[in-house]
Structure 1
Amino acid sequence: MIKKIAIADLKPGMEVVQLSSEMWQHLPYLYADPGIIESEEEVTRLQELGYRQVFVAMKNDSDLSDEERLDLLITGCADVQRPKPRRPFDEAIRSAAITYEDAMGLAMRLVSDAKLGKKVDFTTAMETASSIVESALSNPDTLVCLTKLSNFDDYTYTHCINVAAIAVVFGDYIGMSREELTLLGVAGMMHDLGKTAVPARIVTKPGRLTKPECEEMKRHPGYGRTILQRNSDIPPRVLEAVRAHHEKYNGSGYPDGLTRKEIPAFARILCLADIYDALTSNRYYKDAIPPNKALGIMYGMRDQDFDPTEIQLFIKCLGIYPSGSFVRLNTGEYALVFETDAFKPLYPKIRIVMNKSMKPIDAKDVDLKDQTSDNGETIEIVECADPSAYRRELMTYLTGN
């Protein structure tokens, strides 16, 4: 397999491949002398000469570790991301809503089985995750909308499904295979089962945890892996992701203090989805943060909690105003973001649903890339608004029921 990478990612032992002599016309900063890179000094010299990109011969996918494969996906995704065909939102949201509701039922059963010491149902979890993947491939914005506007109030269950959905959407964005996406979805659904072994008074405590309580809470990833090990069918990748989903880029996470290179690929994705959903959901001890502000907070955590490239791609995947955001417009009206464009993140498709007084109106769809208001004024998003008081009504504008 041939891959274009940044010169900074070039390593000794990599082979620069032979290319057409016309390539420099399209990529003027491309290094194209074929041969094996012998040393770090050679890489440094190429950087000093101003080269920025290079095509190299990579190992076959089957020879790569999970982490190497994810790194390649991210490298390629950061370099170029082509839009994928989507099923129309209004068609896709109905089937996605059914999938989401079915997944909620499974989440309740998984938590119940974990509390009772039963073996978790991996077969059904795989089937449910496959349905989530199908929705993500059909139209990822439907799942992102549902994670923010669904009518299920119990955070214990919704968080499991939201993390699975968001992780799968991001995994698809960076080019993971369907098989990988399904396992990633299962890991997302099961990532917090270890909290069933933590006393409820700690999990639901509204105030700051004491040091002993905090230490007990930090054990939940390990508890989760132990719970899942009751079922020998669950793959090691899922077990590792569940144990490592609170590890951090700089090694400050738990339970093992792993650094970026040591954290399993699935766990890094689950960590992004976990933090995003936690910030944008109502909790026992805090109100939800608007999606755009949550992404801003997460961007501020780069180089500490998150790999800087991965968080940038995560934000690009979800958009500046993620699907499901309830926004106020410069016209004074209120709208729902229902479809985003990674190439024009400030100009999503919106559905205007309320007037200036926040009274429901007949819904009107606007593509901010090329539409204007009735009086000729360009429509723009001013800010995200709090949807909590209107969540049930807002969902009807998306699903029709």
Structure 2
Amino acid sequence: MESLRVKKVRLTETGTDFHELTKGFVSIRTRNLFPGSVVPCDLYFPFLHGGQALSLEKALASGDEYTAEFHDKLISHGIQTVYIRKEAEASFSDYFTSKLQQIINSPNTPSEVKTQLIYDDAESIVKKVLRERPDQGNIRLGRRFVNYFAIQLAADEVTADALLVIFSKDYYTFTHMVQVALLGMAFCRFLGWKEDDLKSFGFGALFHDVGKSSIDNAILNKPGKLDADEFDLMKAHPRLGYERVKKTHVMTPDQLSVILHHHEALDGSGYPDGLEGNDISLYARIARIADCFDALTTNRPYKSALPPAKAIKIMTDEMGHTFDRELLARFVQFLGLEEADQPASGLRLQIDLGIKVLLELEKQPEKWNGLLVGMEPERYLIVRVPALAAAKNHLQPGSHTVCRYICRGNVVQFRTKVLGHVLHPVKLLFLKFPSGFQVLNLRKNPRIECFLPADVDIEGRHYPGTLLDISIGGCKFSSRGVSSDISSQLPVGASITLFSTLFSEPSPLPFAGLVRHVEVDRDKFILGIQFERLDGVSHQKLSAFLENMLVLVR
């Protein structure tokens, strides 16, 4: 593949009108091409000539094999997007969906990879609808997305945190539409909705902003506040989208209500119809919450993205009267950002008996070590605290306490209240079961999500799996098809060697380290590995890989 003459370029500096250059083409993410497969159409890549002229040139022809070597070269050169001609879009869609179907049904593919590919599929569907305007054919493609994601939600626990990791941090109409649908469907699953209802909601939510295709981009992307006339035009997008999709006769009234009423407010201050209370459908009330949250947590031309906790504070404190308060409280629980006054029904706190916890009083310097020895979900936790006799004057019933523990290599924190304590025969502290938690990022070195093939050597036996993320200091590795006693073979502190090619290396590189975390779930295990004593070559190659990847994700 020496003919791949690729240079990383900044398109804005080439002097070429890239929009004109790509007319008649559709962009495809490199990760949506599968090594070892036969490409269904010609693939084009941007080439820079003489540092100035940019062109699209054919790199693979229809029927050529997309080899792992070619894929590695693209990744190593930072190429994340390729192009196909518009007339080949249907062929590529058939190719991608057939591969996606296999991946969705594979027990060996990490949940994160499945969700990312489902996101990509939904994004391509929405782009097509926005480009072509809604018709029966392209709107019906949305059913494929909701079917896939409903399967994923049933098979794996897709948390809000897992979604926020893959969500675009910059606001585009098409990514926003996809993110509202994904977030809303996952929230509905959290609420206990049946699969058919999940699909029905998601189908409407995926196209909730389709009316924006009729709004001038100068208004959509204006860096400052809209004037009165511009805002009136913007407020027309729900009805414009509704009228267009209604003519396709594809959606039910509930699904159409998401498009028409996702900007309606419970107090009647919304648009376009100024509906109040239960006059707004349940679908539209949920869509409004997801829509507002995603808008606040992404970068817009006129504002920077807010952290999720800050967005929720604004939605609760400043906009609470416009939302269904019960649904908003449940959404806060779904996100796991803070405690709510009611029990956390359906909240899946990832904490196991025997785990070590650190307790401290809010705004106080004292800290105490403990061990979780019992719990009654949604009611209380029981923590054994050796120093409880000395700490009992601090840990009185009603005291607000912060607890931290390690889960999957991350620090998890929750706030709770002391319910009571027992000093004899064992020193036990009873805490209120938390209804929310935060995952804290305390790492010195940035971790890059990569989903690369890798394997680990455990007592001379190799276990193939996936490298979920990696930094200069360590990584997270996942594998399936193992015995349940694997944890006994891998105590915390055990030496281990991981092997990975890091995309472009001709042979796997060894990375020696120590096991810092082990999690076993039936036939799947996840390891947190801390690197140590890396040889010069492995350290150099890993540093170069991380540097290149950090440039790409910024």
CA distance in 2, matches of 1:245, 1:220: 11
CA distance in 2, matches of 1:163, 1:141: 15
| Alpha-carbon shift at residue 253 of structure 1 (Å) | 0.3
Pairing of 1:1-400 with structure 2 (within 5 A): 91-114=110-133, 118-119=135-136, 121-141=138-158, 144-150=161-167, 155-301=172-318, 303-320=320-337, 344=434, 347=437, 353-355=443-445, 360-363=472-475
- Structure 2: 5+ residue stretches without partners: 1-105, 339-346, 349-402, 416-432, 449-470, 477-515, 519-529, 531-546
TM-score w.r.t. length of structure 1: 0.60
How many residues are treated as equivalent by the alignment? 277
Q: Which amino acid aligns with 1:362?
A: G
Distance 1:301 1:311, change over 3 A: farther
CA distance in 1, matches of 2:303, 2:121: 27
| Alpha-carbon shift at residue 361 of structure 1 (Å) | 2.7
SS in 1 for 2:473: strand
Contact persistence 1:353–1:360 (CA under 8 A) = no
Structure with the higher fraction of residues in helix conformation = 1
Distance 1:339 1:146, change over 3 A: farther
Q: Which amino acid aligns with 2:127?
A: M
RMSD (Å), alpha carbons: 4.0
Contact persistence 2:241–2:260 (CA under 8 A) = yes
Contact persistence 2:293–2:311 (CA under 8 A) = yes
Query: Deviations along 1:81-139, whole A, 9 cap, x unmatched?
Result: xxxxxx9998311211111111111111121122xx64462322111112122223334
Distance 1:312 1:128, change over 3 A: same
CA distance in 2, matches of 1:345, 1:221: 35
| Alpha-carbon shift at residue 147 of structure 1 (Å) | 3.9
| Alpha-carbon shift at residue 233 of structure 1 (Å) | 2.0
Contact persistence 1:132–1:185 (CA under 8 A) = no
Residue of structure 2 in register with 1:40 after alignment: none
TM-score w.r.t. length of structure 2: 0.44
Distance 1:354 1:245, change over 3 A: same
- Structure 1: 5+ residue stretches without partners: 1-86, 324-329, 368-373, 375-389, 397-401
Q: Which amino acid aligns with 2:329?
A: Q
Residue of structure 2 in register with 1:64 after alignment: none
CA distance in 2, matches of 1:341, 1:175: 24
CA distance in 2, matches of 1:319, 1:243: 30
SS in 2 for 1:281: coil
CA distance in 1, matches of 2:143, 2:318: 32
CA distance in 2, matches of 1:102, 1:187: 16
Query: Deviations along 1:346-390, whole A, 9 cap, x unmatched?
Result: 5456676544999853146879xxxxxx9xxxxxxxxxxxxxxx9
CA distance in 2, matches of 1:214, 1:234: 28
Q: Which amino acid aligns with 2:117?
A: I
Contact persistence 1:104–1:157 (CA under 8 A) = yes
SS in 1 for 2:314: helix
| Alpha-carbon shift at residue 211 of structure 1 (Å) | 0.2
